[in-house]
Structure 1
Amino acid sequence: MRIFLLLVLMAISPLNWAAAKIETWQTPKGSRVFYIYAQDLPMADIRITFDAGSARDGAQHGLAALTSGLLDTGAGKWSADELAQRFESVGANFGTSVSRDTASLSLRTLTDPPLFDKAVETMKTILTQPVFNQADFDREKNRTLAALKHRESSPSALADLTFNKVVYGDHPYAHSSAGEIETVTTLTADDLKKFYKQYYVSANALVVIVGDLTKKQAAKTAEDLLAELPAGQKPADIPEVSLPANAKLQHIEFPSTQTHVLSGIPGMHRKDEDYFALYVGNHILGGGGLVSRLFEEVREKRGLAYSASSSFAPMFRKGAFSMGLQTRNDQTQQALDVMTQTLADFIETGPTEAELEAAKKNLTGGFVMRFDTNSKLAGYAEMIGFYGLPLDYLDTFPEKVLALTVNDIKDAFKRRVDPKLLQTVTVGEAVKPREK
């Protein structure tokens, strides 16, 4: 009961953001540690992150995701059920995740020593002694293949997959983290073991610890968790993303009443000098929901789609800038024309002063709520650590947003978003011309 009540408090109690001072150091084996002391609750969030996302798949698309997914299916002397029971017995939550850039293990646990020690020991075993046995591999592989097969029946999934391919070409960001049926089919348990040995090493590890632990306790925890990992080497950076040579439109025929439309180009990376201008500008263009330009032009004025939006997805290299909507098949061209014209107008004239002021208030007014719990704060610390952002990123975010001018946004969009290079994908049923 005590554990249950504490977990409830963990979920609802806010963290005093002013205490979010990030301290950082390296372990003796070269791993980076990012630590934030937060004493509001007797709990800690721990994340161990590796440069081992799907951009490291090579030709074996889906390899990073399967490796990450198999870590807690058996480790050391414990089965998946036994590992889950160990976490459950101390009220801890454990998970793994993978993105294009990263692969992470995360733990949320109470800091009472007997509970904390058992949770950390279990996490360490999963990290350092995964089994990758054949039966577990076969089960997870078949599960992945079933999901990939189901993906083929989703027009939105097909649009996403195709869009990334046309935007990124042969870059490692071009394929989905889950892979494709053809590539996952050929993967073996030995492939996962090889990938794990190459990338899950101390030199490639980032440890984030947020919670009610002293710096000394955090340092010991980080060193203990990684003690049995080999030193290894950090991999070379993935290549830069190139802009497309010209615009392209690709249609995929699909039996649906609505057409899914995506259009965009490579946008910005996490440390981009234009990050704040593009971020705030996009909020006005299509990221602000009901008050954005795209929503107003496509939905409110013309009723062409239920919604229309735009986004930047910054990563280690340039993530995509994209605009998207769903519309009736016979309105596809009109909706696409309105979407691209709205972008062109925004690039040419920029936002109005009123739009900019409204965006500033929206983005800064609720900013503290984005990291008002240990878990959210750990996510930001992970981002800051992995992408090499300034340690005062959270403190300076509001002032950088508030300092922007209309000309800053207009200039950044003119330089960085070229409508003549848009890569566009439509997935739906083409409307045949009427017979005369």
Structure 2
Amino acid sequence: MRIKNFTSAFFILALAITPIFAQKRENASAKSMNSKIPTVFQPGKSPLVSFRIQFLNGSIDDPNSKEGLASLTAAMLAQGGSKDLTYEQIVERFYPLATGFGWQSDKEMTTFVGATHADNLPKYYALISQMLLEPGFRQEDFSRLKDEAINFLKTGLRQGNDEELGKERLYNIIYAGHPYQHHSRGTVSSLEKITLQDVKDFYRENYTQANLVIGLSGGFDTNFSNQMLTDFGKLPKGAKKMRKIGTPQLADGMKIDIVQRETRATAISLGFPIAVNRTMGKDYAALALVTAYFGQHRSSNSYLYGRLRELRGLNYGDYSYIEYFPRGMFQFAPDPNLARKQQIFQIWIRPVEPKNANFTLRAALYEYDKLVKNGLDQKTFEETRDFLTKYVNILTQTKDAELGYALDSKYYGIPNYTDYMKENLAKLTLADVNNAIKKHLA
């Protein structure tokens, strides 16, 4: 394979595989005695109370030509004020409480995140509950947040973050014609068409009890949680979304996409869809172990890092993933509540001098081919399993992260994440791991 005549570019390599994806989804069963709203309640002695209020809608629910509507609606709720208070007034009231309120909208879920000291819980909850249940939907907030979304895509992503642009472009290619195709923030052209009425309509149709999961962790009591369920029980009941998401349709063979940029470095993202997510205990644990060995995020001990950076000094970092991991250049661990029914195997190589890009891509593919052909040996398997068994604890080391992972476990219909992973890792054999490589990565 030869790649010629480039200066500064992204290489995005999509290896076409057409898997048969079998997804098993169990219904959430943990419900309050006083409500049919699913919950994840983790009361404790912490002086903080963490909120993760989740609605099971996302960019796959964007209407045609209105891509970005789910994300813009979430922004209007978290950054647009309530019926009685402007956003500026809410921020002023957050300030003495030393807190805030955030949001994250992905393909299949939108999550609102906040935390406060238990002493301030009544005041804090009074603010965020009216933001979500009685939104203001002011035109000035809509104009501001719509402009922010457009500027994020135009400037923040396209011009200001070449590496994230490369990763997102990879998803665009793999999921062309698929509900996952567009960025969760939408497209510039579609955002320009969205109106305030579109936001109001999306809120009315999608922010219902049927789509809601409430997560709480920390120093709260049953009186508070019951009051919260009563308040959110005022939302329309709605109907649970029954989605059947097909697998991406890729032509056989290799596809290379080069995004020309006036930059001093090249980012390389390559990958393909895999028929594995967290519901598939043994295979999921096996591939998690493989990626921890081959390209653990921000680790200097991974195999690919050793071959490309340590041995050859080609670049800064070389990582691999089996789950969506945005903003990886800013953080060491992935955010929770980005759960998806479908995932890809991805290799991210960052950044590379343009003169070395062709060789670096070939070297990465060579090392990947060796992984598929040879698999792992017993010593490597045992060492990586020991590492990963301990590392899963780091992912849930804060109460907020623990709550986030618990919500994801409810979504996938699996037990507590750390226990689930440790149990499946303990059962793994070397043969299981190498069979998973052949089955899903070959």
How far apart are 1:408 and its partner, in Å?
1.2
Structure 1 residues 18-33: aligned runs within 5 Å: 24-26=30-32, 30-33=36-39
In structure 2, the CA distance between the partners of 1:332 and 1:372, relative to structure 1 (3 Å rule), is closer
The question of 1:49 aligning with 2:54 is answered yes
Equivalenced residue count is: 392
- For residues 192 and 53 of structure 2, the distance between their equivalents in structure 1, rounded to whole angstroms, comes to 29
Structure 1 residues 133-144: aligned runs within 5 Å: 133-144=138-149
Comparing 216-225 with 307-316, greater Cα deviation is found at: 216-225
The question of 1:374 aligning with 2:399 is answered yes
> Could you state the TM-score of these two structures normalised by the residue count of structure 1?
0.84
The question of 1:239 aligning with 2:264 is answered no
- For residues 394 and 302 of structure 2, the distance between their equivalents in structure 1, rounded to whole angstroms, comes to 22
The question of 1:213 aligning with 2:241 is answered no
The question of 1:117 aligning with 2:114 is answered no
- For residues 241 and 129 of structure 1, the distance between their equivalents in structure 2, rounded to whole angstroms, comes to 38
- For residues 242 and 412 of structure 1, the distance between their equivalents in structure 2, rounded to whole angstroms, comes to 21
The question of 1:399 aligning with 2:423 is answered yes
AA matched with 2:42: I
How far apart are 1:330 and its partner, in Å?
2.6
Q: Is the 8 A contact 2:34 2:226 kept in 1?
A: no
Cα-to-partner distance string for 1:66-110 (whole Å, 9 max, x where unaligned)? 111111312121111222233334444422221222111223123
In structure 2, the CA distance between the partners of 1:27 and 1:57, relative to structure 1 (3 Å rule), is farther
- For residues 392 and 240 of structure 2, the distance between their equivalents in structure 1, rounded to whole angstroms, comes to 34
Give identity over the alignment, percent.
24
Q: 2:305 aligns with which of 295, 302, 315?
A: 295
- For residues 35 and 195 of structure 2, the distance between their equivalents in structure 1, rounded to whole angstroms, comes to 30
Q: Which residue pairs with 1:185 in the alignment? A: 192
In structure 2, the CA distance between the partners of 1:170 and 1:28, relative to structure 1 (3 Å rule), is farther
Q: Which residue pairs with 1:104 in the alignment? A: 111
Q: Which residue pairs with 1:7 in the alignment? A: none
Q: Which residue pairs with 2:289 in the alignment? A: 280
Cα-to-partner distance string for 1:32-53 (whole Å, 9 max, x where unaligned)? 01111212x2332121101122
Cα-to-partner distance string for 1:115-163 (whole Å, 9 max, x where unaligned)? 3222222221111111211111111111222222213224324322321
The question of 1:222 aligning with 2:247 is answered no
* Greater length-normalized contact order (CA 8 Å, ≥ 6 residues apart): 2
Q: Which residue pairs with 1:68 in the alignment? A: 74
Comparing 339-348 with 82-91, greater Cα deviation is found at: 82-91
Q: Which residue pairs with 1:256 in the alignment? A: 263
Structure 1 residues 78-93: aligned runs within 5 Å: 78-93=85-100
> Could you state the TM-score of these two structures normalised by the residue count of structure 2?
0.83
Q: CA RMSD in A?
A: 2.2
Cα-to-partner distance string for 1:336-389 (whole Å, 9 max, x where unaligned)? 111112111111211122222222222223433432332122111221122222
Give the secondary-structure state (helix, strand or coil) at the position aligned to 1:291: coil
Q: 1:330 aligns with which of 340, 355, 359?
A: 355
Cα-to-partner distance string for 1:6-53 (whole Å, 9 max, x where unaligned)? xxxxxxxxxxxxxxxx993146553101111212x2332121101122
- For residues 117 and 363 of structure 1, the distance between their equivalents in structure 2, rounded to whole angstroms, comes to 40
Give the secondary-structure state (helix, strand or coil) at the position aligned to 1:74: coil
Q: 1:362 aligns with which of 370, 387, 408?
A: 387
Q: Is the 8 A contact 1:76 1:129 kept in 2?
A: yes
Give the secondary-structure state (helix, strand or coil) at the position aligned to 2:92: helix
How far apart are 1:189 and its partner, in Å?
0.7
Q: 2:277 aligns with which of 269, 283, 286?
A: 269
Q: Which residue pairs with 2:165 in the alignment? A: 158
Q: Is the 8 A contact 2:69 2:199 kept in 1?
A: yes
In structure 2, the CA distance between the partners of 1:92 and 1:306, relative to structure 1 (3 Å rule), is closer
- For residues 318 and 243 of structure 1, the distance between their equivalents in structure 2, rounded to whole angstroms, comes to 13
Q: 2:44 aligns with which of 38, 58, 76?
A: 38
Larger relative helix fraction: 1
Which runs of 5 or more residues in structure 2 are unaligned? Answer: 1-27, 325-338
How far apart are 1:232 and its partner, in Å?
0.8
